[in-house]
Amino acid sequence: MATLEVLDIHSFYGSIEAVKGVSLTVEEGEIVTLIGANGAGKTTTLNTISGIIKPRQGRILLSGQDITPLPPHEIVALGICQAPEGRRIFTRLTVLENLEMGAFLRRDKDGVKRDLEHVFALFPRLAERRHQLGGTLSGGEQQMLAIGRALMARPRILLLDEPSMGLAPLLVREIFRIIREINAQGTTILLVEQNAHMALSIANRAYVLQGGRVVLSGTAQEIRHNPEVRRAYLGEVS
């Protein structure tokens, strides 16, 4: 059973078509990555899945249910939660308040408490800084908080938009390790990345986006060995 199916979506900004018929599937338990150059339409695709942008054409199914017309908050309630691009967190709320806000839709207090401890276990740096204001965290910590906040909604599918952006190599490694851990604990992940090398190293499957279209897809192995990808995205000189 496919968890998430994106069927030929076309998304526009005004008259500019940023996504020109993207189709992809994310199976339960997978890590799927979406790679591509700047402006390829990766964020737009994610925002369309989250319901923040409505596609002009195409459908998005979650376990067979059409979620295309639903508003973002209902899509979150159905189990798709996004950690937006650029470490978007509530800068004037504390770490703890940010995480609690992430669980806004949940009514199970005990479960929220347990998940809070879980997030703190995943990100010990956040635990130490639970009363610090979000805006005063370092870039890497903010990224952790953004992921933690999304996790607090207890999503079935976590959408991550460039979690490694602007982080030092050591921290990038750390973040990817944690993404893998989150996945191992049962959360399906759709990962958008510029850092194709790292993304392909943890993903099961990959889609390559170019100019708003999927130009290549396959297992991470296949994509990694594709000469075109090696040249364009993995920085290999041929």
Partner 1 sequence: MYRLMNRSHSHEGIRQACARGALVGLVLTFVALIGVFTAFATIYVVRGVLSLSQVLLALGPLLAGRAQKAGQRLSWREALAGGLSGVVAGTFVGLLALAVASVNMRAVLVNATPQLVRTLTFGLPLGLGVISLVGFGGLLGAAGAGWVHVPSRLRFSVALGLGTVVVLGALRQNGLAPVLAAVVLALVSGGAWLYKRQWQELQTSYELFRRRNESLLAVLRWPLALVFLLAVPYVLGTYGTSVLNLVGLYVLMGLGLNIVVGYAGLLDLGYVAFFTIGAYVTGLLTSPRSSLGVGLSFWAAWPAAMLAAMVAGVLLGIPVLRMRGDYLAIVTLGFGEIIRILVLSDSFKPILGGAQGIIEIPGPRLGGFQFVKPQHFYYLILLGCLLAVIVSRRLADSRVGRAWLAIREDEDVAEATGINIVKYKLLAFALGASFSGIGGAIFASWLHAIFPNSFTLLVSINILSLVIVGGLGSIPGVIMGALVLVGLPEVLRAFAEYRMLAFGALLVIMMLARPEGIWPAKRVREELRRG
Stretch that binds ligand ATP, among 20-28, 40-48, 72-80, 176-184 (CB under 6 A): 40-48
Shortest distance, position 43 Cβ to Mg ion, whole Å: 3
Q: Count CA atoms closer than 13 A to 167's CA, side-chain side.
A: 25
Residues forming a β-bridge with 17: 12
Residues in CB range of 214: below 8 A, 6 or more apart = 22, 23, 24, 207, 208
Instruction: Write each residue from 21 to 60 as x if it is in contact with partner 1 (CB under 8 A), else as -, in one continuous string.
Output: -----------------------------x-x--------
- Which member of 72, 156, 194, 204 binds partner 1 (CB under 8 A)? 72
Residues in CB range of 23: below 8 A, 6 or more apart = 6, 7, 8, 9, 58, 214
- Which member of 28, 29, 39, 219 binds ligand ATP (CB under 6 A)? 39
Q: Which residues inside 192-221 make contact with ligand ATP, applying CB under 6 A?
A: 194
Residue 5 and residue 70: Cα distance in Å, rounded? Answer: 15
C-alpha 98 chain-centroid distance: 18
Q: Which H or E run contains 57?
A: strand 57-62
Which of Mg ion, ligand ATP, partner 1, none sits in contact with 53, Cβ below 5 to 8 A by type? none
Shortest distance, position 135 Cβ to partner 1, whole Å: 10
Stretch that binds partner 1, among 7-15, 31-39, 93-101, 229-237 (CB under 8 A): 93-101
Q: Is 56 in the site for ligand ATP (CB under 6 A)?
A: no
Contact by Cβ (8 Å): 209, 22: yes
Q: Which residues inside 15-34 make contact with ligand ATP, applying CB under 6 A?
A: 16, 18
